[in-house]
A and B are shown apart, each in its own frame.
Chain A
Amino acid sequence: MAEEKTRQEQEGRTPNRRRAFLQALAGVGAGAAAAGVGLQVLDGPRAEAAEIPPPLAEATGTALVRMQQDLERAMTSGRTPSWMMVVDTRKCIGCNACTVACKAEVPTGPGGFCRRVIQKELPIGPRPFAVFKPVNCLQCDDPPCAKAVPEGMIRKRADGIVEMDHVRLTGPYAEAAARACPWRLIHVDRKTTYTEDTPQPQAYENRKFEEYGREYQRQGVFNNLFDRARKCTFCLHRLERGELPACVTTCIGGAMYFGDMSDRTSLVYEVTQGRRIFKGHENLGVKPRVIYFEESMPGAVHVDCDACHAR
Chain B
Amino acid sequence: MNNEPIRENRQPEDKTGRRELLAGALLGGALLARVEQAQAAEAAPGALKPVDPSQHIYTTCLQCNTGCEIKVRIQEGLAVKIEGNPYGPRAMDPHIDWATPAAQAARIHGHICPKGQAGIQTTYDPYRVTKVLKRAGARGEGKWVTIPFEQAVTEIVEGGVLFPQDGGRSVTGFRDLYALKDPAAFKAMAADVALIQSKKMTVAEFKEKHKDHLGALIDPDHPDFGPKNNQFVFNWGRLKAGRQDFFLRFVKDSFGSNNAHGHTTVCQGSIYFAGKSMSDQPSGGTFTGGAKAYWMADLSHAEFVIFWGANVLEGNYGPPLKVPKITRGLASGRLKAAVIDPRHSKIAAKAWKWLPVKPGQDAAIALAMIQWIIENERFDRRYLENCNKAAAAADGEPTWTNAAWLVKIREDGTAGAFLRAPEAGLAGDADTFVAMRNGQPVAFKSDDAANAAEGDLFVDAVVNGIRVKSGLQLLREEALKNSIYGWAALAGVSASDIMALASEFTSHGKKAVVEIHRGVSQHTNGFYNVLVTMGALNTLIGNLDWKGGLIYGGGAYGETGGTGRPFQLGDHPAKISPFGIDIIRGGASYEKSTIFNGYPAKRPWYPLASDVYQEVIPSAGDAYPYPIKILMLYMGSPVYALPAGHSLIPVLRDTDKIPLFIASDITIGETSMYADYIFPDLTFLERWEFHRTHPSIAHRVSPVRQPAVAPPTDTVRIYGEEMPVSIEALFLALAERLQLPGWGPGGFAGKGDLKRPEDYYLRMVANVAFGNSSSGSEVCPDASEEEMAIFLNARKHLPKSVFDPERWQQAVGSDWWRKVVYVLNRGGRWLPYDKAWSGEQVASKYGKLVNLYHEKPATTRHSLTGRYLSGVPSYNPVSDSLGQPLDHREAPFQLITNRNMLQTKSRTIADYWLTDIQPENYVEMSTLDAQRLGLKDGDEVWVLSAWNPDAQWELGHGQTKPLVGKVRVTSRIRPGVVTFELGWGHFAYGASVQSIDGKAIPPDPRRGRGIHANSAMVVDPYLRSPLSDVVGGSAVFYDTRVYIVKA
> A159: CB under 8 A from chain B?
yes
Residue A274 at the chain B interface, CB threshold 8 Å: no
**Interface of B with A (CB < 8 Å)?**
1, 3, 5-10, 12, 14, 16-17, 20-21, 23-25, 27-28, 30-31, 34-35, 38-39, 42, 44-51, 75-76, 78-84, 86, 92-96, 107-114, 116-118, 120-121, 124-128, 313-314, 319-320, 323-325, 327-328, 330-334, 336, 344, 346, 349-352, 354, 494, 496, 500, 503, 901-902, 912-914, 916-917, 927, 970-972, 990, 1001-1002, 1004
**Cα separation A176 to B1002 with both chains bound (whole Å):** 38
B31 and A104: CB pair below 8 A? no
Q: How many angstroms from the CA of A93 to the CA of B990 in the assembled complex?
A: 31
| A128 and B76 alpha carbons, distance in the complex (Å) | 49
Inter-chain contacts of A116 with B (CB < 8 A): 6
**A267 beta carbon closer than 8 Å to chain B:** no
- Complex CA–CA separation, A199 to B130 (angstroms): 13
- Contacts A56-B332, A151-B27, A252-B319 given; indicate if A97 touches B111 (C-beta within 8 A): yes
The docked-state distance in angstroms from the alpha carbon of A127 to that of B80 is: 43
Chain A residues in 8 Å Cβ range of B325: 59
Tell me whether A11 is interfacial, beta carbon within 8 Å: yes
The answer to whether the Cβ of A17 comes within 8 Å of any Cβ in the partner chain is no
User: Is residue A254 within 8 Å, beta carbon to beta carbon, of the partner chain?
Assistant: yes
**Chain A positions within 8 Å of B314 at CB level:** 93, 95
Q: A158-B39, A176-B20, A180-B20 are in contact. Are A65 and B108 (CB under 8 A)?
A: yes
B679 to chain A, nearest CB (A): 20
- B323 partner residues in chain A, CB cutoff 8 A: 93, 95, 252-254
Which residue of A77, A81, A183, A208 is within 8 Å of B8 (Cβ)? A183
Q: A75-B45, A88-B331, A300-B330 are in contact. List 11 more A-B contacts (CB 8 A).
A: A57-B328, A79-B44, A99-B917, A101-B117, A128-B344, A155-B34, A195-B124, A200-B126, A204-B80, A250-B112, A283-B10
Which residues of B have CB within 8 Å of A135? 6
| A204 interface neighbour in B17, B114, B124, B352, Cβ under 8 Å | B124
Q: Which single member of B8, B14, B350 contacts A308 (CB below 8 Å)?
A: B8
Name A243's contact: one of B27, B51, B124 (CB within 8 Å): B51
Binds B, one of A19-27, A105-113, A221-229: A105-113
Q: Chain B's nearest CB lies how many Å from the CB of A88?
A: 7
CB of B327 within 8 A of CB of A104, answer no
Contact A128 B971 (CB under 8 A): yes
Q: For residue B300, which residue of chain A has the nearest CB? A: A59
A156 interfacial contact with B, CB 8 Å: yes
Contact of A244 among B44, B109, B124 (CB under 8 A): B109
The answer to whether A241 and B49 touch across the interface, beta carbons within 8 angstroms, is yes
Give 1 or 0 for each of A106-146: 1 = CB within 8 Å of chain B CB.
Answer: 00001101001111110100011110100100000000101
Bound Cα distance from A253 to B329, whole angstroms: 11
Contact (Cβ within 8 A) A60 B324: yes
> Which of chain A's residues has its CB closest to B970's CB?
A121
Contact A182 B496, beta carbon cutoff 8 Å: no
Q: From residue B389, how far is it (CB to closest CB) to chain A in Å?
A: 35
Chain A residue nearest to B969 in the complex (CB)? A121
A14 an interface residue at 8 Å Cβ cutoff? no
A13 vs B914: C-alpha distance when bound (angstroms): 40
Set of chain A residues within 8 Å of B331, measured between Cβ atoms? 55-56, 88, 90-91, 297-298
Q: How close is A207's CB to chain B, nearest CB, in angstroms?
A: 5
Q: CA separation between A6 and B125, bound complex, in Å?
A: 58
Given A121-B970, A298-B330: A180 touches B48 (CB 8 Å cut-off): no
Query: Are B21 and A148 neighbours in the complex by a CB distance under 8 Å?
Result: yes
Q: Number of A residues contacting the other chain (C-beta, 8 Å)?
A: 108
A113's nearest neighbour on chain B, judged by CB, is B1
Also in contact, A250 and B84, with CB within 8 A (given A93-B323, A130-B349, A299-B352): yes
B912 touches A64 (CB 8 A): no
Residue among A104, A184, A242, A283 with the highest chain B CB neighbour number at 10 A: A104
Residues of B within 8 A of A100 (CB): 114, 117-118, 913-914, 917
- With A157-B38, A183-B6 as known contacts, state yes or no: A90 contacts B80, CB within 8 Å: no
A198 at interface by CB-CB < 8 Å? yes
* CB < 8 Å neighbour of A252 from B95, B111, B494: B111
A-B contact pairs, 7 of them (CB 8 A): A72-B107, A95-B314, A110-B912, A121-B972, A144-B21, A155-B38, A179-B16
List the A residue with the shortest CB-CB distance to B352: A299
For the complex, is A266 an interface residue (Cβ under 8 Å from B)? no
Let me know if B349 and A148 touch, CB within 8 A: no
**Given A78, A95, A197, A207, which contacts B76 in the complex, CB threshold below 8 Å?**
A207
Residue of B nearest to A107 (CB): B80
- Our pick among A59, A75, A147, A158 for the contact of B93 (Cβ within 8 Å) is A59
Q: Flag if A111 contacts B38 (CB, 8 Å).
A: no
Choose one: A144, A182, A240, A249; the contact of B45 (CB below 8 Å): A240
Contact check: which of A81, A90, A127, A159 meets B327 at CB < 8 Å? A90
Contact of B496 among A7, A113, A118, A130 (CB under 8 A): A7
- With the chains together, A152 CA to B32 CA distance in Å? 10
Residues on the B chain within 8 Å of A151, using CB: 27, 30-31, 34
Q: With contacts A195-B126, A283-B10 known, is A118 near B5, CB below 8 A?
A: yes
Interface residues of A in 243-291 (CB under 8 A from B): 243-244, 246, 249-255, 280, 283
Instruction: Tell me, in angstroms, the Cα distance from A298 to B523 when the chains sit together.
Output: 33
Q: Does A68 contact B (CB under 8 A)?
A: yes
Q: Mark A53-71, 1 if CB is under 8 A from B, else 0.
A: 0011111111011001000
Using CB atoms, name the residue of chain A closest to B971: A128
Tell whether, in the assembled complex, residue A155 and residue B83 are in contact, meaning their CB atoms are under 8 Å apart. no
- Contacts A90-B331, A159-B42 given; indicate if A253 touches B108 (C-beta within 8 A): no
Nearest residue (CB) in A for B926 is: A128
B990: nearest residue on chain A (CB-CB)? A198
Measured between beta carbons, the chain B residues less than 8 angstroms from A101 are 112, 114, 117
Q: From residue B59, how far is it (CB to closest CB) to chain A in Å?
A: 16
B residues near A130, Cβ cutoff 8 Å: 344, 346, 349, 972
The complex places the Cα of A270 from the Cα of B336 at a distance, in Å, of 25
Give the docked Cα–Cα distance between A304 and B28 (Å).
33
Docked pose: A202 CA to B130 CA in angstroms = 14
The answer, yes or no, to whether A103 is at the interface (CB within 8 Å) is yes
Residue A96 at the chain B interface, CB threshold 8 Å: yes
Asked if A81 and B45 make an inter-chain contact with CB atoms under 8 angstroms apart, the answer reads yes
Is the CB–CB distance between B496 and A55 below 8 Å? no
Inter-subunit contact A182/B500 (CB<8 Å): no
| In the complex, chain A residues whose CB is within 8 Å of the CB of B6 | 116, 118, 135, 183-184
> Is the Cβ of B21 less than 8 Å from the Cβ of A119?
no
Interface: A15 (CB within 8 A): no
Contact, CB under 8 Å: B24 / A91: no
A2 part of interface (Cβ distance < 8 Å): no
